[in-house]
Amino acid sequence: MSSSLNTLGDNVNQLETRFNTLREEVISKLNECSDCIKSAKKLYRQATEMTTILENKLVNASNEEKEWKDIKVKLATTSIKGMVILNVGGDRYTTSVETLTC
């Protein structure tokens, strides 16, 4: 009977050891999962910030493009008449604005 109790005691001790090992492994895996979730949240925040920045830059670029197109239209419709004096290597030449812009 005593050997049966000793065997039972040994089995309980082995079970406790296995349980403690399993508990530590589960806690370790849960901590890893928690770290992964934190990393995912950080990446999400960074992606959201980058998206906002890129959207703002796109709006700015679109506005600048529109401004350039408006300026281009104004320049195309502006008629500047007159003579221009060009200094090329010390030699002076005259031409019309119309000749330079065609």
Place of tokens 């200094």: 87
Predicted local distance difference test score (pLDDT) of residue 7: 92
Q: What are phi and psi of 78, to 5 degrees?
A: -80, 130
Confidence tier at 102 by pLDDT (50, 70, 90): low
- Nearest CA to 84 out of 68, 69, 101, 72 is that of 101
Query: What is the C-alpha to C-alpha distance for residues 21 and 55, in angstroms, rounded to an integer?
Result: 51
Share of the chain above pLDDT 90, in %: 66
At 43-67, the pLDDT tens digits run 999 999 999 999 999 999 999 999 9
Q: What is the pTM of this model?
A: 0.54
Do residues 16 and 22 touch, judged by C-beta distance below 8 A?
no
